[in-house]
A and B are shown apart, each in its own frame.
Chain A
C-alpha cells in the first residue's frame, strides 16, 4: 500500500505539467463551489441583518400616490399622514401592537467647535420598542417628552463619538438647526446595517418637537410615515386589513376608489428577498458543482490516456506477480491523489476568491465550513468515481496483451 502510494506519487511527478493541468479542473471546481456558496451565505447573512435591524412583524404606512387630474404624482404626493392617523390606528385597530409615526430630516449637528452630519428622526416612544433600541447611557424618550414637545434628544453611538469624543454627553447639549437640544440618552450600538447604513448615526427627538421646530411643513401635524407593529407574526394580514379599512374610512374613500396611501408588509418583503437569496445560493452552488463534475471528467480522461500509455508497464508488473487488484489500486490511488490535491488547492483558491470579492467588490461573503467539507468530500468522490473506470480497465488487461503492446 505504501509502496503503491509512492509509485503513484512518482508517476504523477513524472508528468508534472499534465498532472497540474488535470488538477486544474478540480481546483477551479472546488474553488468555485466554495466561493459561490460564500457569496450566497454572505447575501443571506446580509438579509438577516436587515431583518433584525428593521424590527419584526413590521408594516409601514406612507401617504400614497396623489392624483392631479388624471396624472398620478408618485408615492408621497397624496394627502400627508398625521399624528391623529397614528393615534387612530393605535386606538382602533385591535391587532396592532405598537405604532410609531415618524418625521425625518437630514441636518448638520453642532456641538461647541465640532459638527457632524446626521439623520434626525422625530418619533414617539413606540419607535424604540418596534426597532428594539435600548439606551446605553441615560434614558429613552417617553410620552411626557412628546406631550411637552421637550427639546431633548437621544443620540446614536456614532454621533456621541463624533461630537463628544470621550466626554459624557448626558446633560450636555447639541444644536440641531441652531436649536439647542439636551442629550438625555445614548443608544446601544446596533452596528452597520447591511444596506450600508450606519444605524448608530442617528438622533431621535420627540415627534412634536420635530414638527414644531425642525420640519417646515405646510401642514402642521403631518408625519412622513407610520411604522406599525402587529401583536404577533400571525396577525400581519389582519393588521393590513384593519389599517386599510380605517384609513379608507378616515379619508372617505368609497366604493372602488383607489387607496391614496401605501401599506407595506416589510417583513414579508424581506422574507421573499431572503427566499430569492437562498435560491441564488443554490443556483450558484449547482453551477459550481457542474464545473467540479467537468473537472472529474478531466481526471478520468487523463487516467484513461495514462492507462493506454502505460499498458506495457502494466504488462511488466503483471508478469512479475501483480494481481488485478494491485493494478487497480495503483491507478485508483493516482486518480484519488490528483483529485484530493486539486481539492486542497481548490479550497485555498475558494478562500482567496471569497476574500478577494469581499475586499475588492465589497461583496459580503462568508465561507461556510459545510461548503469546504462538501467540496473536499466531493473531490474525493470525484477521484474514486472517475478514477475507478480507468483503473478497472487497466486491471482487466490480459498480461500477454499488455506485454506485447507498443
Chain B
C-alpha cells in the first residue's frame, strides 16, 4: 500500500493488531458543535469497530448523532477529540489534502440525494473520482464503463442525471463509489428518496457488493432497510448504545 508508508503504520499501530483485521476502529470520539454560543455534543465518546466485510446499519432518531458519525467515518468532518483508525491509519489527525486522498482511495459515498453533477453524463460522473486519483483518460473510461456495467447501466453511460430515474441515478452513485476500488462504502439513507420497489433493487445491489467483499456502512432510520445489514449500531444522544433493541441482530 504505497499511499500509507510503513513507518507511519508502525508509529500509529492499529489497536486491532497484530492481526490488523478491523477496517474501522473508533475510540472515544467526541464532536462538539458551537451552535450560537451553546455547545452541542453531537458525539459524546463513541467507541466501536467494524471488521472487513461487514454490513453494518447505523440507526437512531434524528439528533442522535448518527449523521455526525457518518460524516466522521466519511472524513468529511474532523472530530473534536478521540481517534479514528481507517484501514490501519489514524485519520483523525490528517491534513485536508491527506483526507481528500483517503476519501478518494478508501471510501465510496452513496447519498440520499444522489449528489451527481447535473451537467455531466453518467460516465463523466463515475469517472470523476479517477480524475482526482490521477488515472489516465483511457483507463478512466474503461473503468467507469466497467463500474456502470456492474450496476446494470451499461446502456446509459451517456445519459445525464436529469434523463434518468431516481433508481438509475442512485445506481450511478453506487458505480461512482465502486470505481476506485475502495474497501468501504458509506451509504447515507440511500433509499430515502426512492419508492419501495426501487429501494429493494438498490438494497439488493448493496447486498451483492457486500457478498463480493465490500464493507458497507448504512445509515437509516427504517428498520426494514436496516434488516439488510448483518449488524446494527444504535445511536442515542451522541452515544453508541449497541444493537438496536428488538432487531435480533448481534
Contact = CB atoms under 8 A, between A and B. Distances in A.
Interface of A: 3, 10-11, 14, 312-313, 315-326, 398-400, 403
B71 to A, nearest CB: 5
A321 B106 CA distance: 10
Nearest to A402: B76
Contact of B109 (A10, A11, A320): A320
Contacts of A400: 71, 76-77
A11 B101 contact: no
Interface in B96-114: 96-97, 100-101, 103-105, 109, 111
A323 to B, nearest CB: 4
A391 to B, nearest CB: 15
Given A14-B119, A320-B104, 8 more contacts: A318-B100, A321-B101, A321-B103, A322-B100, A322-B132, A323-B101, A400-B76, A403-B111
B77 A323 contact: no
Nearest to B176: A320
A321 B76 contact: no
Interface residues of B, number: 25
19 contacts: A3-B131, A316-B117, A317-B132, A318-B103, A319-B74, A319-B76, A320-B104, A320-B109, A320-B129, A321-B104, A321-B129, A323-B97, A323-B100, A323-B132, A324-B100, A325-B97, A399-B76, A403-B111, A403-B115
Contacts of B104: 320-321
A11 B77 CA distance: 28
Contacts of B117: 313, 316
B133 interface: yes
A321 B77 contact: no
Question: Chain B at the A interface: mostly helix, strand, loop or mixed?
Answer: helix
B157 interface: no
Interface of B: 71, 74, 76-77, 96-97, 100-101, 103-105, 109, 111, 115-117, 119, 128-129, 131-133, 137, 176, 180
A48 to B, nearest CB: 56
A315 B117 CA distance: 10
A227 to B, nearest CB: 75
Nearest to A321: B104
Contacts of B131: 3
A10 B118 CA distance: 12
A35 B44 CA distance: 67
Given A11-B119, A403-B115, A321 B97 contact: no
Contacts of B100: 318, 321-324, 326
A310 to B, nearest CB: 10
A29 B44 CA distance: 57
Contact of A10 (B77, B101, B119): B119
Nearest to B118: A313
A325 B95 CA distance: 13
Contacts of A315: 115
Nearest to B98: A323
**Which 10 A/B pairs are nearest by Cβ-Cβ distance?**
A321-B104, A321-B132, A323-B100, A400-B76, A320-B129, A400-B77, A399-B76, A323-B97, A316-B115, A3-B131
User: Which of A14, A324, A403 has the most C-beta atoms of chain B within 10 angstroms of its own C-beta?
Assistant: A403
A332 B20 CA distance: 43
Contact of A326 (B105, B132, B137): B132
Given A10-B119, A399-B76, A400-B77, A323 B96 contact: yes
User: Which of B101, B105, B119 has the most C-beta atoms of chain A within 10 angstroms of its own C-beta?
Assistant: B119
B76 A403 contact: yes
A11 B120 CA distance: 10
A321 B105 contact: yes
Contacts of B119: 10-11, 14
A3 B77 CA distance: 27
Given A325-B97, A400-B71, A403-B115, A320 B132 contact: yes
A360 B176 CA distance: 61
A14 B120 CA distance: 11
Contact of B133 (A312, A321, A403): A321
Contacts of B71: 400
A401 to B, nearest CB: 9
A398 B104 CA distance: 16
A325 B131 CA distance: 14
A10 B96 CA distance: 27
A324 B96 contact: yes
Nearest to B188: A403
B91 to A, nearest CB: 14
A39 B202 CA distance: 69
Nearest to B116: A316
Nearest to A315: B115
A403 B111 CA distance: 10
Given A3-B131, A10-B119, A399-B76, A319 B97 contact: no
Contacts of A316: 115-117
A325 B96 CA distance: 10
